[in-house]
Amino acid sequence: MRKWCAVVAVLALLVPLTALGAGAQGATIKIGVPVPLSGGNAKMGDDISKAATLAIEEWNAKGGVLGRKLEIMTFDDACDAQQSVTAAHKLVDAGVVAVAGGYCSSAAIPASAVYHDSGVAFVADASSNPKLTDQGFENVFRVIGRDDQQGPYAAGFMTKTLKAHRVAIIHDNTVYAKGLADATKAALSGKPGVQVVFFDAITPGEKDFSAVLTKVKSLKPDVTYFTGYYPEGGLLAKQFKDLGVSGKFMAGDANNDPTFVTEAGAAAEGDFVTSTPLPQDLGTAKAFVDRYKKRFNQDPGPYSALEYDAVNIVINAIQRAHSTDRAAIIKAIAATKGYKGATGSIGFDKKGDRTTILYIPYIIKGGKFTPYNVSS
């Protein structure tokens, strides 16, 4: 009985090996897609790999690229540093010409070192941590914005669209919120006639912010920008209106959560939140959203459009480079300019960050996050 168990176990292990052998085809061009397929972020990984599948299916329907069919290789990185490095080695070994994917920054950053050492292009779709491109690897790009790009974006929105002259900034001393607050302050200090009248932190977990807001009120700001997270954001928005502080209330992307509105209630009406747009809220992504729904019978995830663009940029680069040589592809991706993707125009700066900043303002209307049309 035991022997049989052992035999069955060994056979069960051999099945995937043969499957791997059958999957290898010489002529296809392989693009690696490392995503979390196990653990808490598996849903995101699934959304991302579906978008990549859609992208290559569309190219293959048109005959592929350079006369060859395309294939994606999806490997589970479990959003884990150690597993992502192993998956990266596996992708490189499998002969991928470039990699487009990743989700967690904590997995993408260690894996990027492996891609760098093997000279493979890595176009990250969802890792917004500044550290990823700050490493100075010439092979690393990203189609999503950086966490520290939101500050300058928010500053521009306040001064240009909301015509603010006096700005109050409230953060909560966490790494992310402090970073966003610092970046916003730095961007504002360069603008003529704009003054940061208040810059201080609240304590996460507190419920009563009247002391801070009374101080803010006395300074008569045009815009008050909160860079922390939604549990405090919703309460701040409510107490902001209750105390009758002047100007608009605005919050960072960690407040793009329904809880913000539930907590603030009617007081949230007309508040602004700067955030990365969902595919559904992007005019340029409409065709993509339709095709995605038709193919998979479900809505795309928050990062699907970005992954779709990342894969397309790689294929586009292969076409322009007229080669599947890894180094040639890196060069071609770096030269990408004004690519019309589902998430808008895409080009890369020296670090590999996206030049066009991908943030939009949301306004709260009728208790819902509604994209705010800047031109109106």
Interface residues with other proteins (CB under 8 A) are 2, 5-6, 8-9, 12-13, 15-17, 19-20, 23, 37-39, 42, 46, 74-76, 79-82, 85-86, 89-90, 92-93, 104-106, 109-110, 113, 117-118, 129, 131, 135, 175
Smallest CA-to-CA distance from 315 within 54, 132, 74, 93 is with 54
Closer by beta carbon to other proteins, 72 or else 158: 72
What span, in angstroms and rounded, lies between the C-alpha atoms of 41 and 21? 29
Closer by beta carbon to other proteins, 75 or else 359: 75
Closer by beta carbon to other proteins, 241 or else 326: 326
**DSSP one-letter code for 341:** E
Distance of closest approach, residue 203 Cβ to other proteins, in angstroms: 14
Strand runs labelled E in the chain: 29-35, 70-76, 98-101, 121-124, 140-142, 166-171, 195-201, 223-226, 248-251, 272-275, 339-341, 344-346, 360-365, 368-371
Distance of closest approach, residue 181 Cβ to other proteins, in angstroms: 16
Closer by beta carbon to other proteins, 20 or else 374: 20
Closer by beta carbon to other proteins, 128 or else 184: 128
What span, in angstroms and rounded, lies between the C-alpha atoms of 115 and 181? 33
How many other CB atoms sit within 10 Å of the CB of residue 218?
11
What are the C-alpha distances in Å from 22 to residues 15, 16, 362? Answer: 11, 10, 48
Distance of closest approach, residue 5 Cβ to other proteins, in angstroms: 5
**DSSP one-letter code for 354:** B
Distance of closest approach, residue 118 Cβ to other proteins, in angstroms: 7
Distance of closest approach, residue 302 Cβ to other proteins, in angstroms: 20
Distance of closest approach, residue 75 Cβ to other proteins, in angstroms: 7
Assign 3-state DSSP to the chain and report helix, strand, coil percentages, each to 5: 50, 20, 30
Closer by beta carbon to other proteins, 46 or else 232: 46
